[in-house]
Structure 1
């Protein structure tokens, strides 16, 4: 079946998707609407929601209250009360070190965590990311905080339209304030960008965002440009080693750059409602397919088709498919 030629044979992810960033064409996917804990990849939605609100040169002195509601066990960049930071430095803390401390400072600058969460949920709904339920701005494990490979890809695609978002996610290292005139160096935790921990850097990689919690496992959305074409790949919860999220992303991007130009598109990333996107409407058949129900066929333009490919049973999105609402429960302890 079209779209599946030569797919990587050792994909262990619970869900994945690869798409063309410019056209929005979905080239292949597996369980793309499965609702899973997103970990820090949810910070892409946070940035897409808040980034434009503050000039990057604006300065802000952090207080104890700004850091009081950070979940225990969070990843931190090292924000300290009493130190004044530029907005640019705080966003570097978010994108490079996945710092929940930097997220919470920016959320308090935005009027508080509750207001920011509400705005993120509204942005997700405008993007038609209907699998996403936001509980916290940082992506840390909270009951009911869920997203999907499809939705994370929507967040990356829309975020990359912003020049600052694109710059921050592509930055490898930066100097971060330590008080007075002192600084310390921070490095991006995206291993495809930096080549850390034995991962081979990916040629043409732009970013975008990685994440990990003990509940979510590893998640990653990456974007790369080669030969004038930009592709997006999202991988969630691979079951093999810690580098698997990067290795499987690389394999999917390689496949798409090699075969994606000739493969028939199997779906489309929807456009935001506020930017003229047509409102998506779920059907019972698509909801059953998203839940993994057997016997889902090509009963309409938004139905799913199942393809037996090299990686096992691969769910390919039929033309015009969009994010689906489906209930899911996840729990567990975590360390973002």
Structure 2
């Protein structure tokens, strides 16, 4: 602390004491501000469809594109609600004669659905666009399970180990099977495991492309992954409905189902780094599942947690009771007054209490679903398209219109091709109505 700053702090302290009625000399009582009570959390009102086209604006720089890159336009909105007309609503949607919802559900959007029949039992803003955070790892896991040999051993790189965000504990030079990487991905939400798996799938961009192709094939038309791990990136989007579609499909894979319900496993360590003086070998350790629903809810089958500053809390999970399996998804949530898994538990209880015949829609998209656009924002609504466009005095309106047109057309074409392949993928993942 400099002499000038020290003097300034002393003078400020004396002035504060005098203003509070003290003498300004040593021993005067400090001023204690009155306690404040934070306002109670309330379930966000989405009746006006604020997220019908895209998630809320980012609060940080996580979605600023790399220099020279562009921000993709929002995912096209289908002409009719996927899963049924009732699912086009943006507020709370309940079946006829349904009882009141449980208290303290503060997620902006959520869905309760029957994983076997595909019936959607209740929802709030089911097709609202939100950031998925780490729940998108379910999509990455499905791609990896489809393409990678689970027994293949992979040596982790420094880039794998140093990836931003949550970590499974992978280290440079560590050797891991793909099965162990999936354990780290789904049990501990490891971004390091996500990067290592993506590297085997052809790199981050290729892995993300494969994830998006699978989402389209499954009928998850609100979804666009921007990263394999769920870290926020330009254009990231999903919805409570899509999360239920993806998770219900994933439950059909026995390996995935086994991974998410595993409570703990032995996980490999990694060798010392010769480039670091005094570094030591890291021993193996016990990797625990971070999904609290698994330990605290009767019949829980597992799930996936997620959080980023922009996405807030997200969650997908499932439970089985009396031969019935329900899935629950929450997006845009908070951890108060209850943790997301606890809110999910209340929604699951609500779903199990509803009659088996209760339904407001279906996870099984109809055959005639097409991604024709009902609303796509203009270039002006999109804001800066590239890092270069943000510079002062750069008139890029024409470039924006071209970018929006080209990217929008490409997106629509990709979704049309995905719709063509939808029936084949449904059969593959056992998504027909039973």
Same fold by TM-score, threshold 0.5 exceeded?
A: yes
Kept after mapping to 2: 8 A contact 1:3/1:28: no
Kept after mapping to 1: 8 A contact 2:334/2:340: no
> Are 2:254 and 1:163 equivalent residues in the alignment?
yes
1:22 pairs with 113, 116, 123, which one? 116
Q: CA deviation at 1:12?
A: 1.5
Change (3 A) 1:234 1:3: farther
1:112 corresponds to: 203
Write the distance in 1 (CA, Å) between the matches of 2:146 and 2:261. 18
SS at 2:313's partner residue?
A: strand
Q: CA deviation at 1:67?
A: 4.7
Q: CA deviation at 1:7?
A: 2.4
Change (3 A) 1:60 1:4: same
Kept after mapping to 1: 8 A contact 2:208/2:227: yes
2:291 corresponds to: 190
Q: CA deviation at 1:237?
A: 2.3
2:214 corresponds to: 123
Question: Who wins on radius of gyration, i.e. which is larger?
Answer: 2
SS at 1:231's partner residue?
A: strand
Determine which structure has greater relative contact order: mean sequence separation of CA pairs < 8 Å that are 6+ residues apart, divided by chain length: 1
SS at 1:28's partner residue?
A: strand
Write the distance in 2 (CA, Å) between the matches of 1:3 and 1:182. 57
SS at 1:123's partner residue?
A: helix
2:301 corresponds to: 206
| Residue-pair matches, total | 272
For 1:287-310, what per-residue CA distance to the aligned partner results, in whole angstroms no more than 9, with x for missing partners? 9xxxxxxxxxxxxxxxxxxxxxxx
1:244 corresponds to: 339
Write the distance in 2 (CA, Å) between the matches of 1:51 and 1:279. 29
Kept after mapping to 2: 8 A contact 1:218/1:242: no
Kept after mapping to 2: 8 A contact 1:6/1:255: no
Q: CA deviation at 1:27?
A: 0.6
Moved more, 243-252 or 209-218: 243-252
Q: CA deviation at 1:90?
A: 0.7
Write the distance in 1 (CA, Å) between the matches of 2:97 and 2:139. 29
1:220-231 correspondence runs (5 A): 220-231=315-326
Kept after mapping to 2: 8 A contact 1:117/1:134: yes
1:145 corresponds to: 236
What is the aligned-residue RMSD (CA, Å)?
2.2
Write the distance in 2 (CA, Å) between the matches of 1:4 and 1:204. 23
SS at 1:237's partner residue?
A: strand
Change (3 A) 1:179 1:240: closer
Spell out structure 1 runs of 4+ moving beyond 6 A: 282-287
Q: CA deviation at 1:118?
A: 0.6
Q: TM-score, normalised by structure 1?
A: 0.76
1:181-330 correspondence runs (5 A): 182-194=283-295, 201-239=296-334, 241=336, 243-263=338-358, 265-270=359-364, 278-281=367-370
Q: CA deviation at 1:240?
A: 5.1
Change (3 A) 1:120 1:202: same
Q: CA deviation at 1:64?
A: 2.9
2:156 pairs with 46, 54, 62, which one? 62
Kept after mapping to 2: 8 A contact 1:129/1:151: yes
Kept after mapping to 1: 8 A contact 2:247/2:316: yes
- Uncovered stretches (5+) of structure 1, i.e. residues with no partner: 195-200, 272-276, 288-336
Q: TM-score, normalised by structure 2?
A: 0.59
